[in-house]
A and B are shown apart, each in its own frame.
Chain A
Amino acid sequence: MNNSIAVVVLAQAVVYGTPLLYAALGELLAERSGVLNLGVEGMMLIGAVMGFWAVQRVGGPSGVGLAAGIGVAAVAGAVVATIHAVLVVTFRANQIVSGLAITIFAGAAGLSDYLGNDLNLADQPARHSFQPVLPDALQNLPIVGPILFGQTVLVYASWVLVVVVGLYLSRTRPGLNVRAVGEAPASADAMGLNVAAYRYWHTIIGGAFAGVAGACYTLSITPQWVGNGLVTEGAGFIAIALVIFAFWRADLCLAGAYLFGAFTALPFTLQARQVVNVAPELFQALPYVMTIVVLVLVASGWSRRRLGAPAALGLPYVREER
């Protein structure tokens, strides 16, 4: 039963959805503060390459290496996000162009490739990678075993993060302040909130999440580094679409991430099982086409009017010009 296609696809959907979830939660924090971050893809790639580097270079037991990998990936993502924050908050640059600049700078044929080459990371298997943690008895349970209990720490940590981010935005003082900053920065400023500081911190923490998302690939899903942006293949942009799909809510990010995880996992599984004999490209295009379809469905018409984006998303805040 646990070998049936449905169960395998669902289990894989969780695996492939996890990096999307981390990246989407990071993007959610940034967007709630009013900063659109189109550099997620680049931050993920930097996180992926630096996390992999840390695992290869840090000695000691597996747990230490992996913890170092995740830590380094988060820091690397945060550092790249800092560039974006400086450009859009302090220098008031166009957020769309700045985000794309981040992705070009850090992404395929950019810094991630440069680091991968300079640190000699290509064509090596990872020294450690994340493995399922729960006891076999649980993992072998029918249906729920592989889907829920056969996962790595990264998956369980992401569930905790969904709850934390959700509660933070809806139940805590700083979280509510962030939403004020994203909806009406001038009012937030009048309340005595430091708009720039909130935007800086949430962009930077969002970047750290993106870095971890990248490390999910190189430390867990396919534990190796390959250049040319092939690690993420546009997942960062899917994560951005996911935030729109989730109406800027953490809990819906989880559902959306696994939905898109399934779109990614389905082709691999069907191909491996040789269920259908059609061109692989048709299936590989599925996540991208579905992103467009879902975006059209949820982000157009009535739903957009009712559940809109943070009002100040993408706009620089200049106190003198309000």
Chain B
Amino acid sequence: MIRIERRLRQPRWLTVAVPVGSVVVALLISAVILAATGHDPVYTYHRLFTSAFVDSGALSNTLVSATPLLFTGLAAAAAFRMQLFNIGAEGQLYLGAAGAMGVALLIGPAPTPVHVIVMVAAGAAAGAAWAAIPGLLRAFLRTNEIITSLMLNYVAALVIDYLIFDSLSYWRDTSTPDARVFPQGKFLPDSANWPTTTIGPGAGLVIPLGFLLAVAAAVVLWFLYQRTRFGFEVAVTADSPRAARYSGMRTRRKIVAVMLISGALAGIGGASQDGDFRHQLDPKGLEQSYYGYTGIVVAALARYNPLAVVLVAFLLGGLQTAGYALQGVDFPSGLVGVMEGVILFCVLAGELLVRYRVRLRRRGAEPAPPARAEVAS
């Protein structure tokens, strides 16, 4: 007979060993899916690994994929930590990209640091403003933020589509006849392209500025949640909203503040898409990347710990890079999402082993004495 009992203490090694074990199980399940659909799992995994981390330039590409996931992962982690399920990072990122692009085009040629600062600020503001809608609705009208933030993703996608495809907006390139027929965004002035850092020999490892900003943001977020009064109040509100309210914490303000932080992080991710990678507002490119949704996977795998988000974003960035590099007959599109989903399932299921102890007991044996926690509750 199997008995599941709550653990009184969660040993530290378990909180590391269980997720790692879960990922291994997930890879085994994915291997079965691969084999079932006629692909050689060993060969596929080998190619996945080399094209994500080993091939020349692979690591640099992995950082390119990891940067937006890091931002959206932090956005999700910041909100989910407070049991505030902002799944609108997708739309907040789109609008962050539109906002940052707007101001960058507006100020024209200027010193690069000025551009970077202004674009980060505008991206953060636009993302935060978009996140404020579900945040305020949740705080003051108690409207379910999951549905509202998600619906706003579709609206945000339509907004940026409109800016490029169905209007002669400020964002759209109308300088040449060609551009008038095939709509695309205006390109940033050269001075607004964010610089990169290259380390190592040869082509080296190219680190986008956005990646460094995101890592800095992760550290700041970690500090905010672990070491400040604000972070403590967020943790209390998450665990017991009533206790927080009775002790005089302003839970409504906290909800709005956390949503703003979350939206701002996603918005900076959008600014980084403009400055680091795309250099124009690229609606279809952004919409087909699913950065916001993948960010939720990142945050959940990192157990909402900002520092762990960095590591997970890097690994999933590798998976995505490999997905692009290998896309074709051997590696059908959609496989990356399948693998991410399976990993997430296994990690979710594995959580049980961290919180509970599974005991095998022979039928008829003396029942184990109840644990203290069970008596207490």
Q: Do A and B come from one complex?
A: yes
Could you list 11 examples of A-B contacts with CB < 8 Å?
A91-B349, A100-B87, A100-B293, A101-B341, A104-B297, A111-B341, A113-B337, A234-B153, A241-B147, A281-B158, A292-B151
- A8 within 8 A of partner (CB): no
Q: Are A280 and B146 in contact (CB under 8 A)?
A: no
Q: Are A97 and B341 in contact (CB under 8 A)?
A: no
Contacts of A115 in B (CB 8 A): 334
Contacts of A296 in B (CB 8 A): 137, 141, 143, 148
Chain B residues with CB under 8 Å of chain A are: 5-6, 37, 80, 85, 87, 137, 141-144, 146-148, 150-155, 158-159, 161-162, 166-167, 288, 290, 293-294, 296-297, 300, 332-338, 340-342, 344-345, 348-349, 351-352, 355-356, 374, 377
Could you tell me the distance in whole angstroms from the C-beta of A38 to the nearest C-beta in chain B? 7
Contacts of A159 in B (CB 8 A): none
- A123 within 8 A of partner (CB): no
A280/B337 contact (C-beta < 8 A), A118-B37, A321-B374, A321-B377 known = no
Interface size on A, residues (CB 8 A): 57
Contacts of A87 in B (CB 8 A): 345, 348-349
* Cα–Cα distance between A206 and B131 once the two chains are bound (Å): 31
Which residue on B lies nearest to A299, using beta carbons? Answer: B143
* Cα–Cα distance between A100 and B338 once the two chains are bound (Å): 13
* Cα–Cα distance between A246 and B36 once the two chains are bound (Å): 41
Contacts of B356 in A (CB 8 A): 92
Q: Are A96 and B341 in contact (CB under 8 A)?
A: no
Question: Number of contacts between A and B (CB, 8 Å)?
Answer: 160
Q: Are B340 and A105 in contact (CB under 8 A)?
A: yes
Stretch at the interface among A14-22, A65-73, A163-171, A283-291: A283-291
- Complex interface bits, A267-299 against B, C-beta within 8 A gives 1, otherwise 0: 000000000000111101100110110011001
Contacts of B5 in A (CB 8 A): 320
- A180 within 8 A of partner (CB): no
Q: Are A279 and B166 in contact (CB under 8 A)?
A: yes
* Cα–Cα distance between A265 and B53 once the two chains are bound (Å): 47
In the complex, the 7 A-B pairs of residues with the closest C-beta atoms, listed nearest first: A105-B341, A110-B337, A113-B334, A114-B334, A300-B141, A93-B348, A281-B158
* Cα–Cα distance between A240 and B150 once the two chains are bound (Å): 11
Could you tell me the distance in whole angstroms from the C-beta of A195 to the nearest C-beta in chain B? 15
Majority DSSP secondary structure for residues of B touching A:
helix
Which residue on A lies nearest to B336, using beta carbons? Answer: A109
A110/B341 contact (C-beta < 8 A), A295-B148, A301-B141 known = yes
Chain A residues with CB under 8 Å of chain B are: 38, 83, 86-87, 91-94, 96-98, 100-118, 227-228, 233-234, 237-238, 240-241, 244, 279-282, 284-285, 288-289, 291-292, 295-296, 299-301, 304, 320-321
Contacts of A98 in B (CB 8 A): 345, 348
Which residue on B lies nearest to A244, using beta carbons? Answer: B144
Contacts of A101 in B (CB 8 A): 297, 300, 341, 344-345, 348
Contacts of B300 in A (CB 8 A): 97, 101
Could you tell me the distance in whole angstroms from the C-beta of B303 to the nearest C-beta in chain A? 11
Q: Are B290 and A109 in contact (CB under 8 A)?
A: yes
Contacts of B374 in A (CB 8 A): 320-321
Contacts of B345 in A (CB 8 A): 83, 87, 98, 101, 105
Contacts of B335 in A (CB 8 A): 114
Most buried by A among B142, B161, B293, B355: B293
Which residue on A lies nearest to B166, using beta carbons? Answer: A279
A109/B334 contact (C-beta < 8 A), A288-B154, A289-B151 known = yes
Contacts of A117 in B (CB 8 A): 332-334
Q: Are A295 and B377 in contact (CB under 8 A)?
A: no
Q: Are B6 and A321 in contact (CB under 8 A)?
A: yes
Which residue on B lies nearest to A236, using beta carbons? Answer: B150
Contacts of A91 in B (CB 8 A): 348-349, 351-352
Q: Are B333 and A113 in contact (CB under 8 A)?
A: yes
Which residue on B lies nearest to A111, using beta carbons? Answer: B338
Which residue on A lies nearest to B39, using beta carbons? Answer: A118
* Cα–Cα distance between A284 and B159 once the two chains are bound (Å): 10
Q: Are B296 and A110 in contact (CB under 8 A)?
A: no
Q: Are A104 and B334 in contact (CB under 8 A)?
A: no
Which residue on A lies nearest to B327, using beta carbons? Answer: A117
Beyond the given A105-B341, A115-B334, A288-B151, could you list 13 further A-B residue pairs with CB under 8 A, ordered by the A residue number? A92-B355, A93-B348, A93-B351, A101-B341, A101-B348, A105-B338, A108-B337, A109-B290, A114-B37, A114-B333, A117-B334, A234-B154, A296-B137
